[in-house]
Amino acid sequence: MNDFIRRLQRPHLVQLTPYQSARRSMSGGSVWLNANEAPATPAFPEQQDWNRYPSFQSNGLNQAYANYAGVPMEQVLSCRGSDEAIDLLIRSFCEPATDAVMLTTPTYGMYAISAATQGAQVVDCPLQPAADGSLQLDVPAMLARCDTPDAAPIKLIFICSPSNPLGNEVDADALRALLDGVGERAIVVLDQAYIEFAEASSSQYSVANWLADYPQLVVLRTLSKAFGLAALRCGFALGQPELIEVLRKVIAPYPLPQPTLVAAEQALTTTGLAAMHDQLADIAQQRQRLLDELETRSWVIRIWPSVTNFILISVTDADTLIQQCLSAGVLIRNQSSQPGLGQCVRISIGSNEEMTQLLEALPQ
């Protein structure tokens, strides 16, 4: 194991032997009587395998995603969405009341919630305005905090790119500067839940290839967004095999149900990927339609740049806008509580029919 991964993980995990479930400890055979499973599923007799526990880690699914991401299968962990991967990382590397995670607000809220749940401290290095008007990493401040003596050591740095809730990517050069500066002092977690939407313009679409150069990097991915499989809860952590092995110690014995494994693997076939890209084109068209309409509305103060399936807008009165949409049966998200995003609303891109209903609900 890389020495720095051993050093960064919680000390008691070094000697921990993970639970050896029936599926994990044995394979083969034709009569399975080692897992206390029922012989059939009475309510669903047509389902031949629902009485069986699923694989601990499906080789079929992990290899399919490894092929898609362009990494070896040993660098893939499948889990219950990116949220579980976030939780696993904090549980694996942050000692409660001792270690800290770093955030760059405004950002995805589950980083802070998961840290608080596990008793880790939260350090915020807010994004700063860049020359192009976007909000970007403040790398000097982040590295300075990592070097602060007598402060809680930073074990994990969470970066969301493309950003939720902003919609833009972080600067690739700044990300590399952060990785170079952090070195082996902490793990940098790049959450790429929305990366497929940015594929055409992204400087980080192939960032999984950076894993060879940056063993401290972890990339989070999901099938919830571009693949349209949010209900199935399937995500992935990509990292060095030694780091993935640490997470395998902590993850539940059967993290993904069999129906999820089957559907997720199908989504990663040639046919499934083609269908996903067709939907990406439709979403981009509907996003442009919404952008064109928002440009004409006087109550829109700013339209934040987006490469994702949502648009963040600054408006004159966020609460009134949300209530007006709600009265028409349309739900949009208030982001005004996020640091620096007062009177901001996030609108997801839906189908043609849904966007028509949205545009009818929005004030002129």
> What is the Cα–Cα distance from 247 to 77, expressed in whole angstroms?
8
CATH of domain 272-361: 3.90.1150.10
For tokens 């700044």, name the residue.
174
Domain borders along the chain are 3-21+56-268, 272-361
Average pLDDT over residues 178-193: 97
pLDDT digits (tens, 9 = 90+) for 140-167: 999 999 999 999 999 999 999 999 999 9
Residue type, 16: L
Across the chain, mean pLDDT equals: 95
In the CATH hierarchy, which fold is given to the domain comprising 3-21+56-268?
Aspartate Aminotransferase; domain 2 (3.40.640)
Question: Strand 310-315 and strand 344-348: pairing?
Answer: antiparallel
pLDDT band, residue 323 (cuts 50/70/90): very high
pLDDT digits (tens, 9 = 90+) for 249-299: 999 999 999 999 999 999 999 999 999 999 999 999 999 999 999 999 999
E strands within 23-124?
A: 76-79, 100-103, 121-124
Q: Is 96 in a helix, a strand, or coil?
A: coil
Q: Which residues contact 258 (CB under 8 A, 6 or more apart)?
A: 49, 50, 52, 54
CB atoms within 10 A of CB 89: 28
Instruction: Give the pTM.
Output: 0.95
pLDDT of residue 179: 97
Q: Is 312 in a helix, a strand, or coil?
A: strand
pLDDT of residue 33: 86
Nearest to 206 by CA among 305, 83, 60, 68: 68
pLDDT of residue 30: 85
